[in-house]
Structure 1
């Protein structure tokens, strides 16, 4: 029963199904796939998807690791700081996206006001309206919202690192950097690989965050493959091509999953 929608999407990808053109019905073979690949915006959307996914996950991991290391220290009000850092993650995506859109507005946004006030900008800048900065701006906001997930996961991993081992290494003359790269980071490998792999998939198929902030604009500068699927289905009403692109993404995700699974299984056997 749970597989029915998935099988329906795969089936529809091989049939003409355009609600605006009832005359185009029947078996399409690979025509829907060919039309998707020949779309003038496909390569740009694919490139945006790769950039959006890799930069987001890399930023989330680095910021999450830094904050986890900081929160793992024996400092005052540590519990308070641990509670504060989770706030971006619990904020609904729609609320976070709309709030940042208002904050980045060139006319009344607080971000532009502060940057102009301190002299970093001469005048307000439309961060979400310029093709050169729109995607990077959305990536920045996505990192802000998602890094707490990495913080919590890595902080849990840091709790398992033996303090006796770290103290022994320090006594033997190992510096902070040496202890981090030789002891701490290797023990975080399992949790790191898991959360990075999961978030690569989550980010690649993310639709709502970009849609709330830019709707794929300006001029398709932030359009990713999930947004392109939405345009096919909900704007062009071409469910055949929407299903074809969705099936292509599903196939790619399955290949990545199988590669990771086989690699993990091989290491476990060793």
Structure 2
């Protein structure tokens, strides 16, 4: 290796060093701390209990009376949100891909929900859904859909589903933009040739358009599964996990352990379990992608 090559390599290391330190301080160190605390007793209200705990924290979390409910709510919250976002994103992307008047304006407007901060969106929808003065109940009552104002965020049956609806409203523009970009790369010649051969609109969409959206769709869905599963702020702003834990998910359960019970051992154990779920999901996605690329 020449002197010039050694200097270039040294310079490259110096350029990478700030990014490496940033990663260690903001990602690696907190992650290692969480994993370490998950196998140790760490309760600020009972400092006499300390030391290695093994799997005790995990057992205590699993045997918590609200763990099964929170796990189910997390699955429902994630699946319904991602499915609704994808369907809405696909429909709006197809609509915005058509040659309609004012298309540029509609494309600019549809991004508005995505750029609204979660706290502002959550508080605004909470006010709109309030049974006393909420505009949603007013409209539904005037249209005859409901007889009297309904407490959408305060009932056991509708609290979580209402937050899912609001989350879909806010997040589907991300799918719209991603799918719209992919739709614009679909060959017009191929679609016209299929139409000449007698393929209908439905056949062209399912056999030509959707296969070309597969890569983008899987990527966006996988990213949003992770984002939605670990989302804390949206549900907390709107319901705080209530009523009676009806909308409590695993991230909110972690918050309660850490910030209300001050039991960082249990909070870290539950966070480690969620991390394990995410890693397993990533591995399955990677294996699926590798298998598809070989075929």
Assess same fold via TM > 0.5. yes
Which structure 2 residues correspond to residues 228-247 of structure 1 after superposition, within 5 A?
Answer: 228-247=253-272
1:27 and 2:73 equivalent?
Answer: no
- Separation (CA, whole Å) in 2 of partners of 1:33 and 1:25: 16
Deviation by residue 1:232-253 (Cα, 9 ceiling, x = unmatched): 0000000000000000000110
Equivalent position to 1:224, from 246, 249, 271: 249
- Separation (CA, whole Å) in 2 of partners of 1:199 and 1:118: 35
TM-score, length of structure 2 as denominator length: 0.91
Equivalent position to 1:171, from 165, 181, 196: 196
Deviation by residue 1:174-197 (Cα, 9 ceiling, x = unmatched): 100000000000110000000001
- Separation (CA, whole Å) in 1 of partners of 2:108 and 2:266: 45
Task: Please state whether the residue corresponding to 1:222 is helix, strand or coil.
Answer: coil
Aligned to 1:268: 293
Cα-Cα RMSD = 0.6
Following superposition, the deviation at residue 119 of structure 1 comes to 1.0
- Separation (CA, whole Å) in 1 of partners of 2:83 and 2:288: 21
Deviation by residue 1:29-78 (Cα, 9 ceiling, x = unmatched): 10000000000000000000000000000000000000000000000000
1:15 and 2:40 equivalent?
Answer: yes
- Separation (CA, whole Å) in 2 of partners of 1:228 and 1:130: 20
Aligned to 1:121: 146
- Separation (CA, whole Å) in 1 of partners of 2:281 and 2:181: 26
1:180 and 2:205 equivalent?
Answer: yes
TM-score, length of structure 1 as denominator length: 0.99
Following superposition, the deviation at residue 269 of structure 1 comes to 3.0
- Separation (CA, whole Å) in 2 of partners of 1:221 and 1:11: 31
Task: Please state whether the residue corresponding to 1:188 is helix, strand or coil.
Answer: helix
Following superposition, the deviation at residue 14 of structure 1 comes to 0.4
1:143 and 2:168 equivalent?
Answer: yes
- Separation (CA, whole Å) in 1 of partners of 2:237 and 2:88: 24
Count, aligned residues? 270
Q: Which runs of 5+ in 2 are unaligned?
A: 1-23
- Separation (CA, whole Å) in 1 of partners of 2:116 and 2:147: 32
Q: Which runs of 5+ in 1 are unaligned?
A: none
